[in-house]
Structure 1
Amino acid sequence: MRVLIDPRRPASPGGRVAAADLVGLYAPPARRRWVRSNMVTTLDGSATGADGRSGSVNTPADHRVFAVLRDHADAVLVGAGTVRDEGYTRVRPTRGSPVPAALVAVTRSGRVPEGLRTPTEGRGAGLLVTCASAGDAALARARSVLGEESVLVCGDAEVDLADALDRLAERGLRHVLLEGGPSLLGTALAAGVVDEMALTLAPVVVGGGDFPRIVGGPPLAAPDGVALRPHLLLEESGTMLGLWRVRS
């Protein structure tokens, strides 16, 4: 894998890095809370392949970086729809991180996606983040499935992501990896809670069809959007992988 941009290492572009170096390159800052999103997109801007799943446009380099990002995460934050569509289950431990990240599903309805019902043995915690408008009946059902402490009610009519992230941090889940989908990422960017975006540009095009982009929802901070600066850029076999930090 080649390094194209790394402000921390002013070596000449094109320097090679081994797989073991990725751990340091992707290490989050040591601070109270750090929220990093991770998405993949094709060259023509699609967040999924023709089958409607992001996994069909992943590459070997992307898989390696994905594993490193998971190793650094205390919690994986995902929209409940993405948990269902992408077949998420609770996170298994890895060699890089023997303590598995918690899987945190976000839903306004309060419905518990099947992926959170995975048996807990040998896997990370399963948490549900929802809001008061889900209603007492839905909240009671969620608590009966996951347990009282595993259902976080954050916000009234909509999920308050800032509150949710504060409450996760109080539990020691400070480094949060937001894995989508596009709607949740758009909401998080609009709320100003994303510190950094990890993005893989897959060397493929999918052509026609109404494929999603990596960020959904209404325009962000019109007219200029959310400004970011490049922090890291790597390349392997045509796959581009990078980190962009949100400008404060």
Structure 2
Amino acid sequence: MILLHGDGDPTTPDGLRAIYAPPRLPWLRVNMVSSLDGAATGSDGRSGTVNNAVDVDVFHALRDLADVVLVGAGTANTETYGAARAPIVIVSRRGRIPDDLRGCEPGSVRLATVAEAPGLAAARDELGEENVYVTGTLEVDLPALLARLHEEGLRHVLCEGGPTLLGSLIEAGLVDELCHTITPKLLAGSGPRIVAGPPMDVPVSLGSLIEHDGTLLGRWLL
């Protein structure tokens, strides 16, 4: 591993954590991966077929640093999420809890949804009312959700997508940092990009850049 931009030693776990330590709190970072030609998923619809071992190392480092993991229900379902060290908050307008996240330890899985969600009552029964955040009527109010998490002491938020949730967070001006891994693959096809939504033009600056056997791991500050 070679650090091309920034300070720190990426070759040790402690050094990698130091490179990715948030500069202040609260802090919302998003972690995404794509192929060289911009595909966010492989032919099976999963990012797991795009990433590689060094990206997985950074994935675990970011999770170790985070207070809470934020993820869209579709991504959590497709990527077969399980419980993690930090609480996982599923964002779903339908009040949907992915099957693999049912029956977890109370508080380890939470839900952000809306008052009109068809699955709201069932989610409260499954997770407990205190672990279901209702922020909005038809659309999840993301600023209100973040404020609620911060009030609970969950100030370092790691979002793991998917592209639609990332687009909504950027549009709302809530993202502080995008961690983007580019793997040395060309996939073509019609897979999604890492950001979905209406056109936008958001300037970013490079925080750090690591290279490992052709894989580029960048921290981009918004």
TM-score, L = length of structure 2: 0.95
Cα distance in structure 2, aligned partners of 1:141 and 1:157: 18
Q: What amino acid sits opposite 1:86 in the alignment?
A: E
Shift of the 151–17 alpha-carbon distance from structure 1 to 2, 3 Å rule, reads: closer
Pair 1:219 & 2:212 matched: no
* Match among 128, 148, 167 for residue 111 of structure 2: 128
Pair 1:206 & 2:187 matched: yes
* Match among 88, 91, 98 for residue 113 of structure 1: 98
* Aligned partner of residue 116 in structure 2, secondary structure: helix
* Match among 54, 58, 80 for residue 61 of structure 1: 54
Pair 1:238 & 2:218 matched: no
Checking the alignment, whether the CA contact within 8 Å between 2:39 and 2:187 is kept in structure 1 is: yes
Q: What amino acid sits opposite 2:113 in the alignment?
A: T
- 1:75 is matched with 68
- Return the offset for 1:227: 1.0
- 1:12 is matched with none
What are the superposed Cα offsets for residues 116-167 of structure 1, whole Å, 9 maximum, x if unpaired? 314328xx711000012215xx321110010010100011221011100110
| Matched ranges for 1:1-248 at <5 A | 1-6=1-6, 9=7, 17-20=10-13, 21-31=15-25, 33-91=26-84, 100-120=85-105, 125-134=108-117, 138-207=119-188, 209-220=189-200, 225-246=201-222
* Aligned partner of residue 132 in structure 1, secondary structure: coil
Shift of the 45–104 alpha-carbon distance from structure 1 to 2, 3 Å rule, reads: same
Checking the alignment, whether the CA contact within 8 Å between 2:9 and 2:16 is kept in structure 1 is: no
- Return the offset for 1:16: 6.2
Checking the alignment, whether the CA contact within 8 Å between 1:133 and 1:158 is kept in structure 2 is: no
Identity of aligned residues (%): 51
* Aligned partner of residue 218 in structure 2, secondary structure: strand
* Aligned partner of residue 35 in structure 1, secondary structure: strand
Cα distance in structure 2, aligned partners of 1:70 and 1:17: 16
Checking the alignment, whether the CA contact within 8 Å between 2:70 and 2:88 is kept in structure 1 is: yes
Checking the alignment, whether the CA contact within 8 Å between 1:90 and 1:118 is kept in structure 2 is: no
Tell me how large the CA RMSD over aligned residues is: 1.5
Cα distance in structure 2, aligned partners of 1:72 and 1:164: 20
Checking the alignment, whether the CA contact within 8 Å between 2:97 and 2:111 is kept in structure 1 is: yes
- Return the offset for 1:243: 0.2
Number of residue pairs matched?
221
| Structure 1 moving runs of 4+ over 2 Å | none
TM-score, L = length of structure 1: 0.85
Larger gyration radius, structure 1 or structure 2: 1
Q: Which stretches in structure 1 are left out of the alignment for 5+ residues?
A: 10-14, 92-99
Cα distance in structure 1, aligned partners of 2:130 and 2:210: 40
Checking the alignment, whether the CA contact within 8 Å between 1:89 and 1:118 is kept in structure 2 is: no
Q: What amino acid sits opposite 1:206 in the alignment?
A: L
Q: What amino acid sits opposite 1:218 in the alignment?
A: P
Q: Which stretches in structure 2 are left out of the alignment for 5+ residues?
A: none
- Return the offset for 1:22: 0.2
